[in-house]
Amino acid sequence: MTASHPVRPDASPLLRKERFLLPDGILYLDGNSLGPLPRHVPERLDGTVREEWGQSLIRGWNEHGWMDMPRRIGDRIARLIGADPGTVVLGDTLSIKVHQALSAALEMRPERRLILSDSGNFPTDLYMAEGLIAELDRGHALRLGAPEDVIDRIDDSVAAVMLTHVDYRTGRLHDMEAITRAAHAAGAVMIWDLAHSAGALPLDLAGLGAEFAVGCTYKYLNGGPGAPAFIQVRPDLIDAIRPALSGWLGHAAPFAFEPSYRPGEGIERMRVGTPPVLQMAALDAALDLWDDVDMDRLRAASIRLSERFISEVEARCPELDLASPRDPEARGSQVSFRHPEGYAMMQALIADGVIGDFRAPDLMRFGFTPLYLSEADVVAAVDVLERITRTRSWDRSEFRARARVT
Protein backbone atom coordinates (compact mmCIF):
# COMPACT_ATOMS: atom_id res chain seq x y z
CA MET A 1 0.00 0.00 0.00
CA THR A 2 1.32 3.45 -0.87
CA ALA A 3 0.33 6.88 0.39
CA SER A 4 -1.33 7.67 -2.92
CA HIS A 5 -3.92 4.97 -2.27
CA PRO A 6 -5.56 5.82 1.01
CA VAL A 7 -7.56 3.02 2.58
CA ARG A 8 -10.63 3.92 4.58
CA PRO A 9 -10.75 2.83 8.21
CA ASP A 10 -13.83 0.65 7.62
CA ALA A 11 -11.91 -1.37 5.07
CA SER A 12 -10.79 -4.31 7.20
CA PRO A 13 -11.98 -7.88 6.53
CA LEU A 14 -15.26 -9.07 8.08
CA LEU A 15 -13.49 -11.77 10.08
CA ARG A 16 -9.97 -11.69 11.45
CA LYS A 17 -7.56 -12.85 8.78
CA GLU A 18 -5.96 -15.17 11.37
CA ARG A 19 -9.07 -17.33 11.26
CA PHE A 20 -7.71 -18.68 7.97
CA LEU A 21 -4.47 -20.53 7.29
CA LEU A 22 -3.29 -18.50 4.33
CA PRO A 23 0.29 -18.87 3.10
CA ASP A 24 2.62 -15.97 3.86
CA GLY A 25 3.17 -13.55 1.02
CA ILE A 26 0.09 -14.63 -0.91
CA LEU A 27 -2.85 -12.42 -1.86
CA TYR A 28 -5.64 -14.86 -2.53
CA LEU A 29 -8.20 -13.61 -5.04
CA ASP A 30 -9.52 -17.06 -5.93
CA GLY A 31 -11.78 -17.87 -2.98
CA ASN A 32 -14.62 -17.95 -5.53
CA SER A 33 -13.07 -21.07 -7.05
CA LEU A 34 -11.61 -22.81 -4.01
CA GLY A 35 -12.16 -21.20 -0.63
CA PRO A 36 -9.09 -21.10 1.67
CA LEU A 37 -8.59 -23.30 4.72
CA PRO A 38 -10.14 -22.05 7.97
CA ARG A 39 -7.50 -22.36 10.71
CA HIS A 40 -9.54 -24.64 12.96
CA VAL A 41 -10.45 -27.18 10.28
CA PRO A 42 -7.30 -29.41 10.38
CA GLU A 43 -7.72 -30.06 14.10
CA ARG A 44 -11.41 -30.88 13.76
CA LEU A 45 -10.70 -33.14 10.82
CA ASP A 46 -7.92 -34.82 12.74
CA GLY A 47 -10.42 -35.57 15.52
CA THR A 48 -12.86 -37.06 13.05
CA VAL A 49 -10.14 -39.24 11.58
CA ARG A 50 -8.36 -40.38 14.76
CA GLU A 51 -11.14 -40.48 17.33
CA GLU A 52 -14.27 -41.06 15.31
CA TRP A 53 -13.03 -43.26 12.49
CA GLY A 54 -10.01 -44.63 14.34
CA GLN A 55 -11.66 -45.48 17.65
CA SER A 56 -15.34 -45.86 16.89
CA LEU A 57 -14.86 -47.69 13.61
CA ILE A 58 -18.23 -48.64 12.15
CA ARG A 59 -19.97 -47.57 15.36
CA GLY A 60 -19.22 -44.00 14.22
CA TRP A 61 -22.28 -43.99 11.96
CA ASN A 62 -24.48 -43.96 15.05
CA GLU A 63 -22.17 -42.68 17.79
CA HIS A 64 -20.99 -39.62 15.89
CA GLY A 65 -24.06 -38.91 13.80
CA TRP A 66 -22.30 -39.53 10.50
CA MET A 67 -25.51 -40.72 8.89
CA ASP A 68 -27.31 -37.48 9.81
CA MET A 69 -24.64 -35.17 8.40
CA PRO A 70 -26.16 -34.59 4.94
CA ARG A 71 -29.39 -33.31 6.46
CA ARG A 72 -27.93 -31.56 9.51
CA ILE A 73 -25.32 -29.68 7.48
CA GLY A 74 -28.02 -29.03 4.89
CA ASP A 75 -29.85 -26.98 7.53
CA ARG A 76 -26.71 -24.92 8.10
CA ILE A 77 -26.52 -24.21 4.36
CA ALA A 78 -30.25 -23.44 4.32
CA ARG A 79 -29.72 -20.52 6.67
CA LEU A 80 -27.07 -19.06 4.36
CA ILE A 81 -29.27 -19.24 1.27
CA GLY A 82 -32.49 -18.12 2.94
CA ALA A 83 -34.17 -21.51 2.66
CA ASP A 84 -36.40 -23.25 5.21
CA PRO A 85 -34.90 -25.93 7.48
CA GLY A 86 -35.49 -29.42 6.14
CA THR A 87 -35.32 -28.37 2.49
CA VAL A 88 -31.59 -28.79 1.82
CA VAL A 89 -29.46 -31.93 1.73
CA LEU A 90 -25.76 -32.42 0.99
CA GLY A 91 -24.02 -35.02 -1.10
CA ASP A 92 -22.28 -35.89 -4.35
CA THR A 93 -20.96 -33.23 -6.72
CA LEU A 94 -22.86 -30.33 -8.20
CA SER A 95 -23.07 -32.08 -11.58
CA ILE A 96 -25.06 -34.87 -9.87
CA LYS A 97 -27.31 -32.36 -8.12
CA VAL A 98 -28.03 -30.70 -11.47
CA HIS A 99 -29.05 -34.08 -12.84
CA GLN A 100 -31.34 -34.72 -9.87
CA ALA A 101 -33.06 -31.35 -10.10
CA LEU A 102 -33.46 -31.48 -13.85
CA SER A 103 -34.75 -35.04 -14.03
CA ALA A 104 -37.32 -34.27 -11.31
CA ALA A 105 -38.32 -31.07 -13.11
CA LEU A 106 -38.86 -32.83 -16.45
CA GLU A 107 -41.02 -35.43 -14.79
CA MET A 108 -43.15 -32.64 -13.29
CA ARG A 109 -43.93 -31.38 -16.81
CA PRO A 110 -44.31 -34.58 -18.85
CA GLU A 111 -46.16 -32.86 -21.71
CA ARG A 112 -43.34 -30.36 -22.36
CA ARG A 113 -40.00 -31.02 -24.08
CA LEU A 114 -37.80 -27.95 -23.72
CA ILE A 115 -35.06 -27.13 -21.24
CA LEU A 116 -34.13 -23.46 -21.41
CA SER A 117 -30.71 -22.25 -20.30
CA ASP A 118 -28.22 -19.65 -21.45
CA SER A 119 -24.86 -19.50 -23.14
CA GLY A 120 -23.31 -18.12 -19.95
CA ASN A 121 -24.09 -21.25 -17.97
CA PHE A 122 -21.25 -23.38 -16.68
CA PRO A 123 -20.59 -26.22 -19.14
CA THR A 124 -21.19 -29.11 -16.75
CA ASP A 125 -24.78 -27.95 -16.21
CA LEU A 126 -25.33 -28.01 -19.97
CA TYR A 127 -23.48 -31.31 -20.42
CA MET A 128 -25.60 -32.95 -17.72
CA ALA A 129 -28.74 -31.72 -19.48
CA GLU A 130 -27.49 -33.19 -22.78
CA GLY A 131 -26.76 -36.51 -21.11
CA LEU A 132 -30.16 -36.63 -19.44
CA ILE A 133 -31.91 -35.81 -22.73
CA ALA A 134 -30.08 -38.69 -24.44
CA GLU A 135 -30.82 -41.06 -21.58
CA LEU A 136 -34.54 -40.22 -21.47
CA ASP A 137 -34.78 -40.44 -25.28
CA ARG A 138 -38.21 -38.77 -25.27
CA GLY A 139 -37.51 -35.91 -27.65
CA HIS A 140 -36.37 -33.31 -25.13
CA ALA A 141 -34.18 -30.46 -26.33
CA LEU A 142 -31.86 -27.95 -24.71
CA ARG A 143 -32.33 -24.38 -25.92
CA LEU A 144 -29.70 -21.75 -25.12
CA GLY A 145 -30.41 -18.05 -25.20
CA ALA A 146 -28.08 -15.13 -24.64
CA PRO A 147 -28.08 -14.33 -20.92
CA GLU A 148 -29.69 -10.91 -21.52
CA ASP A 149 -32.71 -12.23 -23.37
CA VAL A 150 -33.23 -15.64 -21.78
CA ILE A 151 -36.25 -14.20 -19.97
CA ASP A 152 -37.89 -13.36 -23.30
CA ARG A 153 -37.50 -16.94 -24.48
CA ILE A 154 -39.58 -18.41 -21.70
CA ASP A 155 -42.89 -19.63 -23.10
CA ASP A 156 -45.36 -22.43 -22.48
CA SER A 157 -43.27 -24.97 -24.38
CA VAL A 158 -40.55 -24.77 -21.71
CA ALA A 159 -40.56 -27.55 -19.13
CA ALA A 160 -37.65 -26.23 -17.06
CA VAL A 161 -35.63 -23.04 -16.91
CA MET A 162 -32.16 -23.92 -15.63
CA LEU A 163 -29.80 -21.04 -14.96
CA THR A 164 -26.74 -20.20 -12.94
CA HIS A 165 -27.41 -17.07 -10.91
CA VAL A 166 -23.88 -15.62 -11.12
CA ASP A 167 -22.02 -16.08 -14.42
CA TYR A 168 -18.80 -17.97 -13.69
CA ARG A 169 -16.84 -15.96 -16.25
CA THR A 170 -17.99 -12.39 -15.76
CA GLY A 171 -19.86 -12.35 -12.46
CA ARG A 172 -23.01 -11.06 -14.22
CA LEU A 173 -26.08 -11.57 -12.02
CA HIS A 174 -29.40 -12.81 -13.29
CA ASP A 175 -32.52 -11.20 -11.87
CA MET A 176 -33.73 -14.21 -9.89
CA GLU A 177 -37.10 -12.78 -8.97
CA ALA A 178 -38.05 -11.62 -12.47
CA ILE A 179 -36.93 -14.83 -14.18
CA THR A 180 -38.57 -17.09 -11.59
CA ARG A 181 -41.80 -15.11 -11.98
CA ALA A 182 -41.64 -15.41 -15.78
CA ALA A 183 -40.95 -19.15 -15.57
CA HIS A 184 -43.92 -19.68 -13.28
CA ALA A 185 -46.19 -17.49 -15.39
CA ALA A 186 -45.40 -19.78 -18.34
CA GLY A 187 -45.92 -22.91 -16.23
CA ALA A 188 -42.24 -23.88 -16.29
CA VAL A 189 -40.20 -25.31 -13.42
CA MET A 190 -37.35 -23.07 -12.19
CA ILE A 191 -33.92 -24.43 -11.26
CA TRP A 192 -31.23 -22.09 -9.93
CA ASP A 193 -27.57 -23.02 -9.71
CA LEU A 194 -26.06 -21.07 -6.81
CA ALA A 195 -22.44 -22.20 -7.30
CA HIS A 196 -21.14 -18.62 -7.26
CA SER A 197 -23.89 -17.20 -5.05
CA ALA A 198 -23.90 -19.27 -1.86
CA GLY A 199 -21.62 -17.44 0.56
CA ALA A 200 -21.23 -14.52 -1.84
CA LEU A 201 -24.45 -12.57 -1.39
CA PRO A 202 -27.74 -12.68 0.54
CA LEU A 203 -30.35 -15.00 -0.94
CA ASP A 204 -34.00 -15.62 -0.13
CA LEU A 205 -34.86 -19.02 -1.51
CA ALA A 206 -37.93 -19.36 0.70
CA GLY A 207 -39.35 -16.10 -0.62
CA LEU A 208 -38.36 -16.81 -4.22
CA GLY A 209 -40.47 -19.91 -4.65
CA ALA A 210 -38.25 -21.56 -7.26
CA GLU A 211 -38.77 -25.32 -7.32
CA PHE A 212 -35.10 -26.30 -7.10
CA ALA A 213 -31.75 -24.80 -6.21
CA VAL A 214 -28.36 -26.48 -6.28
CA GLY A 215 -24.87 -25.31 -5.41
CA CYS A 216 -21.43 -26.25 -4.24
CA THR A 217 -19.60 -25.73 -0.98
CA TYR A 218 -15.93 -25.65 -1.94
CA LYS A 219 -16.11 -22.16 -3.45
CA TYR A 220 -17.19 -19.31 -1.15
CA LEU A 221 -18.21 -21.65 1.68
CA ASN A 222 -14.65 -22.97 2.23
CA GLY A 223 -15.57 -26.65 2.48
CA GLY A 224 -12.32 -27.79 0.85
CA PRO A 225 -11.49 -29.42 -2.51
CA GLY A 226 -14.20 -31.93 -3.42
CA ALA A 227 -16.59 -30.76 -0.68
CA PRO A 228 -20.13 -32.10 -1.24
CA ALA A 229 -22.74 -30.17 -3.19
CA PHE A 230 -26.26 -29.31 -2.03
CA ILE A 231 -29.78 -29.45 -3.40
CA GLN A 232 -32.74 -27.47 -2.11
CA VAL A 233 -36.32 -28.38 -2.99
CA ARG A 234 -39.38 -26.19 -2.41
CA PRO A 235 -41.11 -27.54 0.71
CA ASP A 236 -44.46 -28.34 -0.92
CA LEU A 237 -42.76 -30.50 -3.58
CA ILE A 238 -40.37 -32.52 -1.48
CA ASP A 239 -42.68 -35.44 -0.84
CA ALA A 240 -44.06 -35.41 -4.39
CA ILE A 241 -40.90 -35.63 -6.49
CA ARG A 242 -39.53 -38.95 -7.66
CA PRO A 243 -35.74 -39.19 -7.39
CA ALA A 244 -34.20 -40.45 -10.64
CA LEU A 245 -31.01 -41.45 -8.83
CA SER A 246 -32.77 -43.86 -6.52
CA GLY A 247 -29.92 -44.90 -4.26
CA TRP A 248 -30.34 -46.80 -1.02
CA LEU A 249 -29.75 -43.84 1.27
CA GLY A 250 -32.65 -42.00 -0.32
CA HIS A 251 -34.86 -45.03 0.42
CA ALA A 252 -37.57 -44.82 3.07
CA ALA A 253 -35.88 -47.61 5.07
CA PRO A 254 -32.28 -48.17 3.92
CA PHE A 255 -31.57 -50.76 6.58
CA ALA A 256 -34.69 -52.78 5.82
CA PHE A 257 -32.84 -53.78 2.63
CA GLU A 258 -36.06 -54.11 0.68
CA PRO A 259 -35.79 -55.39 -2.89
CA SER A 260 -37.59 -52.40 -4.36
CA TYR A 261 -37.11 -48.63 -4.05
CA ARG A 262 -39.44 -46.48 -1.98
CA PRO A 263 -38.48 -42.80 -1.70
CA GLY A 264 -37.67 -41.57 1.78
CA GLU A 265 -39.60 -38.99 3.76
CA GLY A 266 -38.63 -35.40 3.22
CA ILE A 267 -35.47 -34.03 1.66
CA GLU A 268 -33.56 -37.22 2.54
CA ARG A 269 -34.94 -38.73 -0.65
CA MET A 270 -32.44 -36.63 -2.59
CA ARG A 271 -29.59 -38.54 -0.98
CA VAL A 272 -27.98 -41.22 -3.12
CA GLY A 273 -25.23 -43.26 -1.45
CA THR A 274 -22.79 -43.20 1.45
CA PRO A 275 -21.90 -39.64 2.50
CA PRO A 276 -18.22 -38.59 2.31
CA VAL A 277 -17.84 -38.22 6.08
CA LEU A 278 -14.40 -36.62 6.09
CA GLN A 279 -15.42 -33.99 3.53
CA MET A 280 -18.64 -33.41 5.45
CA ALA A 281 -16.65 -32.96 8.67
CA ALA A 282 -14.36 -30.40 7.03
CA LEU A 283 -17.36 -28.51 5.66
CA ASP A 284 -19.22 -28.68 8.98
CA ALA A 285 -16.21 -27.18 10.75
CA ALA A 286 -15.74 -24.51 8.05
CA LEU A 287 -19.37 -23.46 8.43
CA ASP A 288 -18.66 -22.41 12.03
CA LEU A 289 -17.06 -19.29 10.54
CA TRP A 290 -20.31 -18.47 8.81
CA ASP A 291 -22.19 -18.37 12.11
CA ASP A 292 -20.50 -15.00 12.66
CA VAL A 293 -21.25 -13.53 9.24
CA ASP A 294 -24.10 -11.19 8.40
CA MET A 295 -24.86 -11.66 4.70
CA ASP A 296 -25.91 -8.03 4.12
CA ARG A 297 -22.66 -6.77 5.60
CA LEU A 298 -20.78 -9.34 3.55
CA ARG A 299 -22.41 -8.10 0.37
CA ALA A 300 -21.66 -4.46 1.18
CA ALA A 301 -18.02 -5.33 1.88
CA SER A 302 -17.77 -7.39 -1.30
CA ILE A 303 -19.03 -4.47 -3.36
CA ARG A 304 -16.53 -2.11 -1.69
CA LEU A 305 -13.69 -4.48 -2.60
CA SER A 306 -14.74 -5.09 -6.20
CA GLU A 307 -15.43 -1.39 -6.83
CA ARG A 308 -12.01 -0.50 -5.49
CA PHE A 309 -10.38 -3.19 -7.64
CA ILE A 310 -12.08 -2.00 -10.82
CA SER A 311 -11.20 1.65 -10.29
CA GLU A 312 -7.56 0.84 -9.44
CA VAL A 313 -7.11 -1.50 -12.43
CA GLU A 314 -8.73 0.90 -14.88
CA ALA A 315 -6.56 3.76 -13.64
CA ARG A 316 -3.31 1.81 -13.59
CA CYS A 317 -3.58 -0.98 -16.20
CA PRO A 318 -5.30 0.64 -19.18
CA GLU A 319 -4.65 -2.29 -21.54
CA LEU A 320 -7.06 -4.48 -19.53
CA ASP A 321 -10.75 -4.31 -20.43
CA LEU A 322 -13.47 -4.82 -17.85
CA ALA A 323 -15.53 -7.90 -18.78
CA SER A 324 -17.84 -7.73 -15.75
CA PRO A 325 -20.90 -5.52 -15.34
CA ARG A 326 -19.90 -2.06 -14.18
CA ASP A 327 -22.97 -1.76 -11.99
CA PRO A 328 -22.11 -3.55 -8.72
CA GLU A 329 -25.77 -4.49 -8.24
CA ALA A 330 -25.55 -6.47 -11.49
CA ARG A 331 -22.43 -8.35 -10.38
CA GLY A 332 -21.69 -11.19 -7.98
CA SER A 333 -18.51 -11.23 -5.92
CA GLN A 334 -16.02 -11.61 -8.77
CA VAL A 335 -14.52 -9.35 -11.41
CA SER A 336 -12.96 -10.31 -14.74
CA PHE A 337 -10.70 -8.35 -17.04
CA ARG A 338 -10.01 -9.24 -20.62
CA HIS A 339 -6.60 -9.33 -22.32
CA PRO A 340 -5.41 -11.46 -25.27
CA GLU A 341 -2.41 -12.54 -23.14
CA GLY A 342 -4.54 -12.99 -20.03
CA TYR A 343 -3.32 -16.53 -19.43
CA ALA A 344 0.37 -15.57 -19.34
CA MET A 345 -0.42 -12.49 -17.27
CA MET A 346 -2.26 -14.58 -14.71
CA GLN A 347 0.66 -17.02 -14.45
CA ALA A 348 3.03 -14.09 -13.92
CA LEU A 349 0.71 -12.70 -11.24
CA ILE A 350 0.57 -16.06 -9.48
CA ALA A 351 4.37 -16.30 -9.61
CA ASP A 352 4.43 -12.93 -7.83
CA GLY A 353 2.04 -14.08 -5.12
CA VAL A 354 -1.32 -12.79 -6.38
CA ILE A 355 -3.58 -15.76 -7.05
CA GLY A 356 -6.55 -15.41 -9.36
CA ASP A 357 -7.46 -17.66 -12.26
CA PHE A 358 -8.04 -17.69 -15.99
CA ARG A 359 -11.08 -18.60 -18.05
CA ALA A 360 -10.74 -19.18 -21.79
CA PRO A 361 -10.39 -17.47 -24.10
CA ASP A 362 -9.03 -14.29 -22.51
CA LEU A 363 -10.44 -13.65 -19.04
CA MET A 364 -8.40 -12.97 -15.92
CA ARG A 365 -10.79 -13.67 -13.07
CA PHE A 366 -10.55 -12.34 -9.53
CA GLY A 367 -12.79 -13.25 -6.62
CA PHE A 368 -13.46 -10.92 -3.68
CA THR A 369 -14.23 -12.68 -0.46
CA PRO A 370 -14.47 -10.10 2.31
CA LEU A 371 -14.10 -12.68 5.08
CA TYR A 372 -10.33 -12.31 4.88
CA LEU A 373 -9.61 -9.67 2.22
CA SER A 374 -9.21 -5.99 3.00
CA GLU A 375 -9.15 -2.99 0.69
CA ALA A 376 -5.42 -2.78 1.38
CA ASP A 377 -5.07 -6.30 -0.05
CA VAL A 378 -6.93 -5.25 -3.16
CA VAL A 379 -4.68 -2.25 -3.67
CA ALA A 380 -1.57 -4.37 -3.04
CA ALA A 381 -2.76 -6.88 -5.66
CA VAL A 382 -3.20 -4.12 -8.21
CA ASP A 383 0.32 -2.87 -7.38
CA VAL A 384 1.61 -6.24 -8.59
CA LEU A 385 -0.68 -6.31 -11.61
CA GLU A 386 0.44 -2.82 -12.60
CA ARG A 387 4.11 -3.79 -12.33
CA ILE A 388 3.57 -6.91 -14.43
CA THR A 389 1.72 -5.09 -17.19
CA ARG A 390 4.17 -2.15 -17.23
CA THR A 391 7.31 -4.30 -17.35
CA ARG A 392 5.72 -7.04 -19.52
CA SER A 393 7.24 -9.58 -17.17
CA TRP A 394 4.46 -11.96 -18.27
CA ASP A 395 5.98 -12.16 -21.76
CA ARG A 396 7.88 -15.41 -21.27
CA SER A 397 7.29 -18.86 -22.74
CA GLU A 398 7.04 -20.47 -19.29
CA PHE A 399 3.99 -18.34 -18.50
CA ARG A 400 2.29 -19.35 -21.76
CA ALA A 401 2.49 -23.11 -21.16
CA ARG A 402 -1.04 -24.22 -20.24
CA ALA A 403 -1.53 -26.28 -17.10
CA ARG A 404 -4.31 -28.88 -16.84
CA VAL A 405 -6.33 -26.73 -14.43
CA THR A 406 -6.44 -23.05 -15.34
Ligand X SMILES: *Cc1c(COP(=O)(O)O)cnc(C)c1O
Q: Which of 173, 216, 349, 385 binds ligand X (CB under 6 A)?
A: 216
Catalytic residue check, 17 = no
If one asks whether residue 193 binds ligand X (CB under 6 A), the answer comes out as: yes
DSSP secondary structure, 348-368, as one string = HHHHTTEE-EEETTTEEEEE-
Q: Is 248 annotated as a binding residue?
A: yes
> Cβ(48)–Cβ(277) under 8 Å?
yes
Rounded to 10 degrees, what is the CA torsion of 151, 192, 36, 311?
A: 20
**What whole-number distance in Å separates Cα of residue 338 and Cα of residue 303?**
20
CB-nearer residue toward ligand X: 228 or 264: 228
If one asks whether residue 176 binds ligand X (CB under 6 A), the answer comes out as: no
Which stretch, 87-95, 109-117, 231-239, 270-278, contacts ligand X (CB under 6 A)? 87-95
In 3D space, the residue among 291, 249, 286, 257 whose CA is nearest the CA of residue 89 turns out to be: 249
Least separation, in Å, of the C-beta of 312 and ligand X?
A: 26
> Cβ(189)–Cβ(212) under 8 Å?
yes
Q: Which of 32, 117, 164, 374 binds ligand X (CB under 6 A)?
A: 164
CB-nearer residue toward ligand X: 28 or 399: 28
Q: Which residues pair with 363 in a beta bridge?
A: 338, 359
Q: At what angle do helices 277-290 and 69-81 cross, to 10 degrees?
A: 30
CB-nearer residue toward ligand X: 56 or 93: 93
CB-nearer residue toward ligand X: 11 or 104: 104
Catalytic residue check, 365 = yes
If one asks whether residue 212 binds ligand X (CB under 6 A), the answer comes out as: no
Q: Which of 78, 229, 348, 381 binds ligand X (CB under 6 A)?
A: 229
Identify the burial level of 326 via C-beta atoms within 10 angstroms of its C-beta, where 0-12 means exposed, 13-18 middle and 19 or more buried: exposed
> Cβ(147)–Cβ(332) under 8 Å?
no
Using CB under 6 A as the criterion, what x/- string covers residues 90-129 for binding ligand X? ---xxx--------------------------x-xx----
Choose, from 20, 122, 220, 358, the residue flagged as catalytic: 122
Catalytic residue check, 122 = yes
| Cα distances (Å, whole numbers) of residue 164 to 15, 326, 390 | 28, 19, 36
**Which residues carry out catalysis?**
122, 193, 218-219, 365
Binding residues for ligand X (CB under 6 A): 93-95, 122, 124-125, 164, 168, 193, 195-196, 216, 229
